[in-house]
Amino acid sequence: MTKHRLQGNFFEDFRLGQVIRHATPRTVSDGDSATYMSLTGSRFASHSADTVAQQLGYPRRPLDDMLVFNIAFGKTVPEISVNAVANLGYAELRFVSPVFGGDTLSCESVVIGLRENSNRRSGVVYVRSTCYNKDGSVVLSWVRWVMVHKRKPEAKIAENHVPELRSATPVEDLVVRPRIRTSEALDEWCEATGSRSLWEDYAPGNRIDHPLGMTVEEADHMSATRLYQNNSRPHFDALQMRSSPVGRRLVYGGHVISVCRALAYDGLENVLSILSINAGTHAAPTVAGDTLYAYSEVLERQKVPGRSDVGVLRMRLVGLKNTPPSEVSALTMQEGPSSSSYHPAVVLDLDYSVAIPRKPTNGARHE
């Protein structure tokens, strides 16, 4: 019988510079937004209401950034990570243009790095993936690296290259779409979010313990992962996962990010959109029954060149399982998101940048 694509790629199938066009273009709709909301509880105002989004210069509400990311990511799974041992990290993720109901997304990846492990049974593949809209414009792009099994340990690997990645996208390379055109527009925005905490109110070193917790159910994380057409087996097949180290289905890491971001609404109500994900680590697995909590740290506060209405906050979002943030002191965290030694409650360490309105500069304070 002829080949029917059933097995995905193994480490020795990848080549440096290889271009992979991923399958299953996907039209998105308000239905995806409703489903996403029902699975995550997202409340960020620019994705919630057309009227609010129009005040920011959008034609209508764009889809939630993390919904777009997760759909895009899902496309890359069959070729990149269906045989992955682990998703090791993200870097250089940049949201370039917003996505609206009716848009159609497709993805492409380029292999930018390969490093065989010393045990010769697996290797690390680095890919830069780009998600396009139907008109060919770039929606977002990102780098991730995954550990992938070799089909045969004895297979020879000619290429070894670890790409250099930026620790964070510089502010001048961020695409900041939303605009606050007038002082009245700022007032309306703040009314829509119920908060007057603006860019100036967040200082590097500040920490926000988000008050809510969310217990994850099997049906929830599987529905989210299916919505993204992500077919990675560990999220769905309880029977096979019995013989895995954790012994059960694992929650897709992108769902953990989405839930933690939704929890991070309280205290970050005025975030307009995510601009970049600079680094991300899934520090420990999450399974159904775990209750997720989150806290945020302000890493940097940056001005946007040529813009006085909106500033950038580089944030650290820490996701915790079964432990409220008040019980996790910053001291128990190691340095930086690349560390491998975390407090055992930490499931997610995400370094990302967001746009948030600034206070008017003419002295007319709003508070």
Radius of gyration, CA atoms only, the chain = 20
Q: Which of 109, 130, 141, 193 binds a copy of itself (CB under 8 A)?
A: 193
Sign, CA torsion 114/279/69/177: negative
Helix or strand (DSSP H, E) at 72: helix 65-76
User: Which residue in this structure is represented by tokens 């340990």?
Assistant: 153
Query: What part of residues 123-182 is at the interface with a copy of itself (CB under 8 A)?
Result: 134
Q: Which of 24, 332, 338, 341 binds a copy of itself (CB under 8 A)?
A: 24
Note every long-range contact of 168-171, with CB atoms under 8 Å and residues 24 or more positions apart, other chains counting.
Answer: 168/276, 168/278, 168/279, 168/314, 168/351, 168/353, 169/92, 169/94, 169/275, 169/276, 169/278, 169/353, 171/302, 171/303, 171/304, 171/305, 171/312, 171/353
Q: Report which residue type is found at 338.
A: S
Query: What part of residues 338-367 is at the interface with a copy of itself (CB under 8 A)?
Result: none
Q: Which of 9, 12, 14, 33 binds a copy of itself (CB under 8 A)?
A: 33
Closest distance of CB 205 from a copy of itself, Å: 9
Q: Which range of residues in 40-48, 154-162, 275-283, 343-351 is near a copy of itself by CB under 8 A?
A: 40-48
Q: Which of 18, 183, 206, 244 binds a copy of itself (CB under 8 A)?
A: 206
Closest distance of CB 87 from a copy of itself, Å: 18
Closest distance of CB 89 from a copy of itself, Å: 25
Tokens read off for 295: 């806290």
Closest distance of CB 17 from a copy of itself, Å: 19
Query: What part of residues 260-279 is at the interface with a copy of itself (CB under 8 A)?
Result: 265-269
User: Is residue 244 involved in binding a copy of itself (CB under 8 A)?
Assistant: no
User: Is residue 109 involved in binding a copy of itself (CB under 8 A)?
Assistant: no
> What is the C-alpha to C-alpha distance for residues 31 and 364, in angstroms, rounded to an integer?
41
Closest distance of CB 52 from a copy of itself, Å: 6
User: Is residue 18 involved in binding a copy of itself (CB under 8 A)?
Assistant: no
Which C-beta is closer to a copy of itself: that of 174 or that of 224? 224
SS3 126: strand
The count of residues in the chain is: 367
Query: What part of residues 285-324 is at the interface with a copy of itself (CB under 8 A)?
Result: 289, 291, 322, 324
